[in-house]
Amino acid sequence: MLRVVLVYPQIPPNTGNIARTCAATGTELHLVGPLGFEISDRYLKRAGLDYWPYVNLHYHPSLQDFQTFHQQQGGRWVGFSTSGSCSYIQFQYADGDWLLFGSETQGLPPDVLSLCSTVVRIPMNQPNVRSLNLSVSAAVGLFEARRQLGYLE
């Protein structure tokens, strides 16, 4: 089972959109705090529409709490960052991977990147565009992993 992890997300509508993607695909969503908003935020709820009952949501108040949870579960951490060593398409995903995405303003911090099994990037053709929106990046990464694993059928 793939999992999407948002480390220190800041913008509620992005998290809500990602939650909707996770609901549609049956993918667990893990939020690692501190968050830049409250879980009850109305913008978060609005972006997720009425799909919240279908989101398998896990909140971890700190990175340490998340690490402890992960150790019990196993699986690789696949970080998504503009500093990734290979394209997200070239990487071979495995069932049980955790797809980690950082905050909208900072990305994944260095201490989290160092804990990842691998760090991949989503290539940008325009050098003046640093990255995609967080919710778009999460969807692109999740759907590529699902495609490779045969989950799109």
- Nearest-5° angle of CA 100, CA 133, CA 18? 55
Residue 91: what are its φ and ψ, rounded to 5°?
-75, 140
Among the listed residues 137, 144, 153, 121, the one whose alpha carbon sits nearest the alpha carbon of residue 2: 144
- Nearest-5° angle of CA 21, CA 27, CA 33? 85
> CA 56 from chain center: how many Å?
14
Give the annotated binding-site residues for S-adenosyl-L-methionine: 102, 122, 131
